[in-house]
Amino acid sequence: MSEFAISKDKPWTFIVNVLGEIFRRDNPDRNVEADCVLASVNICEVARRLFKGDEELYNEWSNEADKGPISKRVNLAVEREFRRQERDLLNPCEFKIQQKIAKFQKINHNRFRVYGGMRGKQSWMKLVTEVIHFVDDIEFWNNVKKVAKANGATVILMYDETEHTDKCGDPTQGEGHKPVELRKQILDKGRILLNDGQPDDEGYIWSVSKDHGRMERQVELAWDVLNVPDVRTLNAMILRLCKATDAIWTKGGVGVC
């Protein structure tokens, strides 16, 4: 059994995930599939409304580089449309927490992200960072616990005892891909050849890393930021936590683009 626990929080009924997508479920059971409330806006429909049927302008936008002047107009219109739909689709309590989450998510990056929502009538919001590493590296997990304790984080188990997969096939077709040369390149990388390094029916030589099959664990370090007053305060908190979590992040950080 893992030394880390799955979150004991009550199941959410409304959530804005790290991508800004909005979901709701009337039944708070964790196993009940959530309904997507708002994930995206149809950019083409917004553009057509913006250009009021001007096909020439629409086509110019379609062929324009993403950062061109017309694209900027369309992107702004899409953002306004998203905001309008938020107001129409969310109840006042949902809209209030969603607006704060959206504001905080403007400083999301691959290392620290904000998400949150509601559990019944109770609002919640977290700042999180994730790490993944091998279960048998006791020193690493002890460091995770120390960092969490020193910085007021809750460690939430995402998954445990899952096999690490690092298997890949290299094609023998093409220049510089002769089986003898390819096998040497693979071995020079410290990988282990499968099937004695013989190509399969499609001409691929398969190999695994030395860590293939080791058990992994992934956890989330989470901080309650519901009462953080503004983006400036949150950003200062993130800068401080970046330094505090450097050691574990360098070894096992999970980035989200």
- Is 90 exceeded by the pLDDT of residue 224? yes
pLDDT tens digits, one per residue of 100-127: 999 999 888 889 999 999 999 999 999 9
Question: Within a domain: residue 171?
Answer: yes
- Is 70 exceeded by the pLDDT of residue 222? yes
Confidence of residue 177 (pLDDT cuts 50, 70, 90): low
What is the DSSP-derived secondary structure letter of residue 68? S
Alpha helix (H) ranges present in the chain? 43-51, 55-63, 69-89, 92-104, 138-150, 179-188, 231-244, 246-252
Question: Within a domain: residue 42?
Answer: no
Confidence of residue 52 (pLDDT cuts 50, 70, 90): confident
Confidence of residue 237 (pLDDT cuts 50, 70, 90): very high
Q: Decide: 241 and 113 in contact? Cβ < 8 Å.
A: no
Q: Compute the distance between CA of residue 72 and CA of residue 143 in angstroms, rounded to an integer.
A: 46
Q: Decide: 89 and 38 in contact? Cβ < 8 Å.
A: yes
Question: Within a domain: residue 130?
Answer: no
Q: What angle do CA 124, 219, 229 make, to 5 degrees?
A: 30
More confident position, 49 or 92: 92
Question: Within a domain: residue 17?
Answer: no
Question: Within a domain: residue 174?
Answer: yes
Question: Within a domain: residue 202?
Answer: yes
- Is 50 exceeded by the pLDDT of residue 43? yes
State pTM to two decimals: 0.77
The count of domains in the chain is 1
More confident position, 5 or 13: 13
Confidence of residue 175 (pLDDT cuts 50, 70, 90): low
pLDDT for position 68: 75
Question: Within a domain: residue 83?
Answer: no
Question: Within a domain: residue 186?
Answer: yes
**Percentage above 70 pLDDT, the chain:** 92
More confident position, 126 or 2: 126
pLDDT for position 227: 96
- Is 90 exceeded by the pLDDT of residue 257? no
Give the position of tokens 């993944």: 132
- Is 70 exceeded by the pLDDT of residue 58? yes
Confidence of residue 1 (pLDDT cuts 50, 70, 90): very low
Q: Which residues contact 111 (CB under 8 A, 6 or more apart)?
A: 129, 242, 249, 253, 255
Q: Which domain holds residue 192?
A: 165-208
